[in-house]
A and B are shown apart, each in its own frame.
Chain A
Amino acid sequence: MQKITRDILVEKAVSLLENGTVCCVLGWKKGEFDYDVTPALFESKEEIEKDFVYDDFCGANFSKYLVKKTIKAEGKILVFLKPCDTYSFNQLLTEHRFDREKVYAIGIPCEGMADINKIRAIAGDGISEIKCGEKIVVDTIYGDKHEIDAKDVLLERCINCKSKKHVNYDELLGDEGEVIESNRFDEVARLEAMTPDERFAFWQNELSRCIRCNACRDVCPACTCEKCVFDNPKSGVENKAPANEFEEKMFHIIRAFHVAGRCTDCGECSRVCPQHIPLHLLNRKFIKDIDSFYGEYQAGAEVGSRAPLVNYTTNDLEPSEVFEGRGE
């Protein structure tokens, strides 16, 4: 259950729209069911009052939308940011991907978002109603009723939430929040402890399901190239389908390298993957390595920070030390 209610956000959005501070509002729009919330650009009080939602199904991170939406907007865009979204927001600012002056950011608290797949695994088919409250109450057309503890159906990234702190905002609704302890590297450590063959088999199994829909790339706030090499017929590596299994692995590994040091670990890649591939683990491996080789670094913690991979200090590890350090 979210601590802040939809009504508070609606009131805030309407007042900022009506007093001319912002020209439109980037928010979550009610879906066909109780869980299929869609990101939307609201332009009127009526639209906001009718369709704006904020509940346990508002996982979408709006930061990346600002890259395109701020170009066309004729005034400021109001955006609601959960703590993890603010890290992506900062990282995009670090990379000069949008004009901060065209955004009015409101930090909102987040108690973790629900994973509809986990709810479905408990409630089964035919979900007719979901009420988010102290408990998530699910009704089905088959007459079943399930009361589920929200903690039991959190998205993976929320179970391993790294921070409740808002690192950028114009206004806060609720507390600024704190960076928190998480176990987000446990699964990476488990993979590191495997033999190379076991690890290869793990990724082979996971990545073999990839359908190359590019949802992971298209949702990723660190993937904002105007034209991705994989979409560019002139790049020589453009492809819409895996030519073989190995190539499929290469796509995800190349992408992980490309966002290394810039990935804030927002977890959108794994959230949207239609094949439920734990793509975030590739990124977390890089984050864990960067932390151990160069000292703790959190992408997006502040605007303008120099990521270790694009910086040089005389204390930097030599490649040989990195190599020798492996397997410890």
Chain B
Amino acid sequence: MLKCSYDALNGIFAKIAENAKLYLPADKDGKTDYTKWAEGVEWSNALNTARSPKDFFFPQVEDLMKFKVEGKSIAIDDIREESEDFVVFGVRACDVRSFDILDRVFLIEPYDSYYASRREHGVIISCACTRPTETCFCKTFGIDCTNPGGDITVWRCEDALYWQANTEKGEKLLGTLGLESADESAVNAQKEQTARIMEKLPLAKLTTEGFGGGKTMELFNKPEWKSLSEACLGCGTCTFVCPTCQCYDVKDFNTGNEIIRYRCWDSCMYSDFTKMAHGNNRLSQVERFRQRFMHKLVYYPENNEGIFGCVGCGRCLAKCPISMNIVKVMKTIGGSAE
């Protein structure tokens, strides 16, 4: 384990930024979001960012290709470019897990080269949590917020910032930073303290009991879906702030002299979600609402060795205009204890 003083941190950020673009959570206008580091940008104390870091690998909008039609021939312009190197610093444990969830979608056949290029060129530096909030429930999904993954992990202890590499990529970057070695006692003490706080969280006892692969028939026709979705506005807030929502639409934009084929995030809450030539297979908001939660709690684990498609980051709890969310769904539909 290595450490650095907080006074040295700015110099370390500068060193990282010499070779790669560095992004970290910074405060602006009372909100926190990943910001490109430059001299003067301060690392935020906030628990987490408003927007999840999934944009780094799976941006809200991206152009896939262009094509031109001339007479009877179509010229296809492959506009793919290798991603540049970048480092995302200060990612929380929940969001680190979200990358694993996205990998299982984008890095299986058919392999998504757009996503893969960013994954290859991105280094994740995670940060252990010390002050979780009442909307946190990462533990429900087996995530340890005191020990987040990523290529490198940092612990923000009182005396210093502690660093540890978890992957080869992480070793390589950490080796260039010239940090001093340290013993683990401060980190261990912090982990114990945070674990005690985790026990006190109001959602500490939320379990995934009743959900998982093989539960489709049991849960699909539950009458409770109707009342749960009763007030749903059908907006896309939950899906767009979610670090694991991965559905997208592919569309063509006619500029007048060429076609740009792009993809953008889609939301299962929208009326035209997965609409095809035959029409739409989910005509009511109850069906759309159910799709989102069944995907995260049943379909995804069914196809991914029991891993759930939610990381308990709590963004949807904080942002839903009508305050309906996955916790309320789990408590109503599943067998979770109070």
- Chain A contacts to B: CB under 8 angstroms: 31-33, 36-41, 60, 65, 121, 125-128, 141-142, 205, 209, 211-215, 217-219, 227, 231-233, 238-243, 271-272, 274-276
Chain B positions within 8 Å of A232 at CB level: 272
Interface string of B266-279 (1 = CB under 8 A from A): 11001110010000
Chain A interface helix/strand/loop/mixed? loop
| Alpha-carbon distance A209/B30, docked complex (angstroms) | 13
**A217 (CB) vs chain B CBs: closest residue:** B235
Does the CB pair A240–B319 fall under 8 Å?
A: no
When A and B form their complex, which 7 residue pairs have the shortest distance between CB atoms, in order from nearest?
A241-B264, A272-B321, A36-B323, A125-B133, A218-B233, A39-B231, A215-B235
Total interface residues in chain B, CB < 8 Å: 51
Chain A positions within 8 Å of B249 at CB level: 240
Contact of B328 among A32, A219, A238, A240 (CB under 8 A): A32
Can you list 7 A-B contacts (CB < 8 A)? Answer: A31-B323, A38-B328, A121-B30, A127-B133, A213-B267, A215-B233, A243-B61
Chain A positions within 8 Å of B26 at CB level: none
Does the CB pair A126–B132 fall under 8 Å?
A: yes
Does the CB pair A241–B265 fall under 8 Å?
A: yes
Question: Which of B3-11, B197-205, B290-298, B303-311 contacts the other chain?
Answer: B197-205
Does the CB pair A38–B51 fall under 8 Å?
A: no
Chain B positions within 8 Å of A240 at CB level: 236, 249, 251, 264-267, 270
Interface string of B46-80 (1 = CB under 8 A from A): 01001100000000110000000000000000000
Chain B positions within 8 Å of A217 at CB level: 235
Interface string of B192-232 (1 = CB under 8 A from A): 00000100111100000000000000000000000100110
New A-B contacts (9) at CB < 8 Å, excluding given A32-B203, A213-B237, A217-B235: A41-B227, A41-B231, A126-B197, A142-B131, A215-B321, A231-B271, A243-B262, A274-B50, A274-B240
Does the CB pair A215–B237 fall under 8 Å?
A: yes
Does the CB pair B231–A40 fall under 8 Å?
A: yes
**B200 (CB) vs chain A CBs: closest residue:** A141
Shortest Cβ distance from B327 into chain A, in angstroms? 6
Does the CB pair A242–B61 fall under 8 Å?
A: yes
Interface string of B305-331 (1 = CB under 8 A from A): 000000000000101011111011001
Shortest Cβ distance from B247 into chain A, in angstroms? 11
Does the CB pair B321–A211 fall under 8 Å?
A: no
**B321 (CB) vs chain A CBs: closest residue:** A272
Contact A38/B134 with A241-B265, A243-B61 known, Cβ cut-off 8 Å: no
Shortest Cβ distance from B200 into chain A, in angstroms? 5
Output the residue of B227, B234, B240, B275 with the most chain A CB within 10 A. B240
| Alpha-carbon distance A141/B199, docked complex (angstroms) | 10
Q: Is B31 an interface residue (CB 8 A)?
A: yes
| Alpha-carbon distance A36/B51, docked complex (angstroms) | 20
Chain A positions within 8 Å of B331 at CB level: 32
Chain A positions within 8 Å of B264 at CB level: 239-241
Q: Is B91 an interface residue (CB 8 A)?
A: no
| Alpha-carbon distance A270/B322, docked complex (angstroms) | 13
**B60 (CB) vs chain A CBs: closest residue:** A241
Contact A40/B230 with A125-B132, A128-B134, A274-B241 known, Cβ cut-off 8 Å: yes
Chain A positions within 8 Å of B60 at CB level: 211-212, 241
| Alpha-carbon distance A59/B197, docked complex (angstroms) | 31
Chain B positions within 8 Å of A231 at CB level: 270-272
| Alpha-carbon distance A205/B29, docked complex (angstroms) | 10
Contact of B235 among A31, A141, A218 (CB under 8 A): A218
Chain A positions within 8 Å of B267 at CB level: 213, 240
| Alpha-carbon distance A317/B8, docked complex (angstroms) | 65
| Alpha-carbon distance A141/B60, docked complex (angstroms) | 35
Q: Is B253 an interface residue (CB 8 A)?
A: yes
| Alpha-carbon distance A247/B40, docked complex (angstroms) | 31
Shortest Cβ distance from B270 into chain A, in angstroms? 7
Chain A positions within 8 Å of B321 at CB level: 215, 218-219, 271-272, 274
**B46 (CB) vs chain A CBs: closest residue:** A125
Chain A positions within 8 Å of B272 at CB level: 231-233, 238
| Alpha-carbon distance A74/B260, docked complex (angstroms) | 50
| Alpha-carbon distance A213/B232, docked complex (angstroms) | 13
**A57 (CB) vs chain B CBs: closest residue:** B323
Chain B positions within 8 Å of A218 at CB level: 233-235, 321
| Alpha-carbon distance A205/B201, docked complex (angstroms) | 36
| Alpha-carbon distance A217/B201, docked complex (angstroms) | 34
**B263 (CB) vs chain A CBs: closest residue:** A241
**A244 (CB) vs chain B CBs: closest residue:** B61
Does the CB pair A241–B61 fall under 8 Å?
A: yes
Chain A positions within 8 Å of B230 at CB level: 39-41
Chain A positions within 8 Å of B233 at CB level: 215, 218-219
Chain B positions within 8 Å of A233 at CB level: 272, 275
**A35 (CB) vs chain B CBs: closest residue:** B323
| Alpha-carbon distance A214/B253, docked complex (angstroms) | 21
Chain A positions within 8 Å of B227 at CB level: 40-41
Shortest Cβ distance from B312 into chain A, in angstroms? 13
| Alpha-carbon distance A121/B27, docked complex (angstroms) | 13
| Alpha-carbon distance A80/B203, docked complex (angstroms) | 31
**B234 (CB) vs chain A CBs: closest residue:** A218
**B273 (CB) vs chain A CBs: closest residue:** A240
Does the CB pair B235–A38 fall under 8 Å?
A: no
Does the CB pair A211–B241 fall under 8 Å?
A: yes
Output the residue of B134, B236, B265 with the most chain A CB within 10 A. B134
| Alpha-carbon distance A125/B203, docked complex (angstroms) | 14
Output the residue of A125, A213, A276 with the most chain B CB within 10 A. A213
| Alpha-carbon distance A242/B60, docked complex (angstroms) | 9
Does the CB pair A126–B253 fall under 8 Å?
A: no
| Alpha-carbon distance A75/B324, docked complex (angstroms) | 26
Which B115-173 residues have C-beta < 8 A from chain A?
131-135
| Alpha-carbon distance A214/B327, docked complex (angstroms) | 23
Chain B positions within 8 Å of A275 at CB level: 31, 50
| Alpha-carbon distance A231/B234, docked complex (angstroms) | 12
Output the residue of B30, B51, B61, B203 with the most chain A CB within 10 A. B61
| Alpha-carbon distance A85/B249, docked complex (angstroms) | 36
